[in-house]
Amino acid sequence: EAGDRASAIALLERALADDPQDVAAHALLGVLHATAGDAEPARAALRRALYLDPGHHESRAQLALLTARGGQGGREAAP
């Protein structure tokens, strides 16, 4: 909430080192990277969330938004 995206990303990465199967942490990490304009790490985190939970609608929606914005580099999203 304080707007310190870098600290939030670092915190999530540490949490994922402890629990790499935390779907919500991967999804949030993807959102944080996306809001920073870092499309590739955002896609990677969102895809990990979807790999762990193919029905995770928030990750699917965020990945679709990245694609719609052109963050996919012309390729189609493969959730």
36-79 pLDDT, tens per residue? Answer: 889 999 999 999 999 999 999 999 999 999 988 875 443 333 33
d(CA 79, CA 61): 10
Residue 30's identity, in one-letter code, is: G
**Is the pLDDT confidence value at 17 over 90?**
yes
Number of residues that make up the chain: 79
In this prediction the pTM is: 0.82
pLDDT of residue 71: 53
